[in-house]
Structures are given as structure tokens and as C-alpha cells.
Amino acid sequence: MKYYSKTSMQDWWKSTFPKGREIIKITDASGYPVSIAYGEKGEGKPLFLIHGIGGWSYNWRYNIETLAKYFRVICFDAKGYGFSDKPLYREKNNHQIIEFKRIISALCDRPAIVVAESLGGLISLAVAQDYPELISDLIVVNVPIFADNLPHWGMSLLSQIPLELLQAADLGRITTLFAPLVKEILAIERRSVLFDPTKFTETDAYWMSYPYIQFPGTLTKAAEDIQIAVKEIQRNQNKQPNLISKIQKNLTVIKCPTLILWGQQDSWFPYKHGEKLSKLLPGSQLKILPNCNHDASSGSPDAVNAAVLQFLKKV
């Protein structure tokens, strides 16, 4: 039997969303059509859950059910991640901002609530600045808006490997050949950003590593976004035009109600960054989550859910 059998576990999409995994077509930032995987549950005002770098909709597994009692919860895999398309061409540095805008516009006919974690939070701040009509309420979690370096050794490694080499290995299904090793490396990485590492189960390891093992291109696209991030950080440090400083300088234009959540034990970006962000974002609220590391959505889901619902006045 192959290490990863498509029938070895119940399809997460089918067990989580009434219609299972759905597909929407958008035109990406480079002008090409791409398929975006998404799922939705619940009724009422739309609420998007946006994952961070290297993740996919599964990151929100402990939040969907609770929030869907009050809202139409929509999870999607960003282009290059999870079950969405992974094009071979290189990306523009602002591609996720443009594509997120197009996904919201395609799935909603009114302003949406956005709950976004890590890099997803940074992208969401940019969308709130550039397309304010799309977002009614914004919740960002452990957002890397003041990052001055890569927070993890694995990211640093991927930032230095030529994309052409990674792509050749990726398309050659190297990750499939070394599936147990890939699964173990991802499990170690995910446990390192949890306050309680024992919460990351074998099932979690299976699903978090699934796209990297089953879908060629996943590793390359994650590495490409990391390399884009490195260049943006370097440009910011060198006082050259970059997305990070642009987002920082335009925080005052965000008018929608905004909640900032930050793990008190975040090992990637200290909670002092959250305090700084709250001072620069007029009218925002800040809540520090105790016993919470960087991966708040799955590491401290009850605290995240409670904070979101309280902010949105549903409890």
C-alpha cells in the first residue's frame, strides 16, 4: 500500500463542509485563470478564515464549527497552497492581495468579516487599505507587520534554494518518495509553534503534509512566497519601496472595526508587535491570548473563537 492512500482517511472537506470541497475560478494577478479550492458552512453574514504561509484551510479545523453557528464561514486555500492551483510561472510580489480581493468579490455580494492569521493577516490589512468596501470587520492574529527576519530555520533554508531546483525536485515527486520524512518535518515545525505540542495529532500531521506530498508544486510555491517575503524585508531595511512599509504607513486609512489578537508566547513575532500595531491602527482593539504560541487558530481555538464572537457581539 502507498504511504498516502486517498482512501486511508475520510475526506476532510466532505466531513467539514455540507457541500465538501468546491472550486471557484478567478483571474490571478498575472492575468491567468486559476482554480481556488474552498468550503463553506453556516448562514448569514460572510466570514472568511484566511490561513498563513505554508498552510491551508485545515489550519482552521477547530474554528469552523463554532463560528458557523453565527455566520456563513468561508475557508479557501490561497493559490499555491492546499488544494488550489499551483502555477509554474513566477509570482508578483503583491499577488495575494489582488487574488484575495477577487475571491471575496466572486463569493460575496456584500462586505465580509475577515479573520486572518500570520501572513494572511498582513495580506488582509493591505486589502482593507486598498479595497475598504470589501471588509466590514477585521480580525488579525499574530500578523508579521514588523518582521525584520524569517522566524524559522526551515524558511531560511527554503529562501536560499533556487526555485528552479526546487521546482525540478517538486515536479519529480521527491516529496512523495520521502513522504514519511516530509510528514515528520512538518509535524516538528507545526508543534514548535503550539503552546502545547501534544495537541498536534497524527491526523493533523497527515492532513497538513498532504498537499506537499500529493500535489506537485506546493513546496515550490511556499518557497517562492518565502523568497518574496525575504526581498520585501530587505527592501524595508534598506529604505527602498516595499509592501511592508506601505502597509505600515497606511494603517490610518483602515476604518473598519479591527481586533488584534496576539499569542503571549508567540515564538515567531513577540506580542509587543501587537501592542505597537494597536497604537498605529486607530480605534483598534488588542487582546493578548495567554498560553498561546504563534499558531493560535489550532493551538488556542477556544480563546480565538471566544474573542472573535465577543468582538462581533455574538456572545
* Residue 47, number of CB atoms within 10 A of its CB: 26
Taking each helix axis from N to C end, the angle separating 163-171 and 218-237, rounded to the nearest 10 degrees, works out to 170
pLDDT for the residue 5: 45
pLDDT for the residue 158: 86
pLDDT for the residue 315: 64
Q: What is the 3-state secondary structure (H, E, C) of the chain?
A: CCCCCCCCCCCHHHHHCCCCCEEEEEECCCCCEEEEEEEEECCCCEEEEECCCCCCHHHHCCCHHHHCCCCEEEEECCCCCCCCCCCCCCCCCCHHHHHHHHHHHHHCCCCEEEEEECHHHHHHHHHHHHCHHHEEEEEEECCCCCCCCCCCHHHHHHHHCCHHHHHHHHHCCHHHHCHHHHHHHHHHHHHCCCCCHHHCCHHHHHHHHHHHHHCCCHHHHHHHHHHHHHHHHHHHHCCCCCHHHHHHHCHHHCCCCEEEEEECCCCCCCHHHHHHHHHHCCCCEEEEECCCCCCHHHHCHHHHHHHHHHHCCCC
- pTM for this model (two decimals): 0.94
List the pLDDT tens digit at each of the 315 positions of the chain.
Answer: 334 444 457 899 999 999 999 999 999 999 999 999 999 999 999 999 999 999 999 999 999 999 999 999 999 999 999 999 999 999 999 999 999 999 999 999 999 999 999 999 999 999 999 999 999 999 999 999 999 888 888 888 888 999 999 999 998 999 898 899 899 988 998 999 999 999 999 999 999 999 999 999 999 999 999 999 999 999 999 999 999 999 999 999 999 999 999 999 999 999 999 999 999 999 999 999 999 999 999 999 999 999 999 999 986
> In Å, what is the CA distance from 226 to each residue of 58, 126, 163?
20, 18, 11
C-alpha–C-alpha distance, residues 278 and 304, integer Å: 17
pLDDT for the residue 2: 39
Cell of 236: 524595508
Based on the number of CB atoms within 10 Å of its own CB, is 160 exposed (0-12), middle (13-18) or buried (19 or more)?
exposed
Q: Are 122 and 49 in contact (CB under 8 A)?
A: no
Closest CA to 101 of 93, 91, 92, 111: 111
- Using the structure block, give the residue that is written with the C-alpha cell 513575532: 269
- Backbone φ, ψ for residue 123 (5° rounding): -60, -40
Q: Are 30 and 48 in contact (CB under 8 A)?
A: no
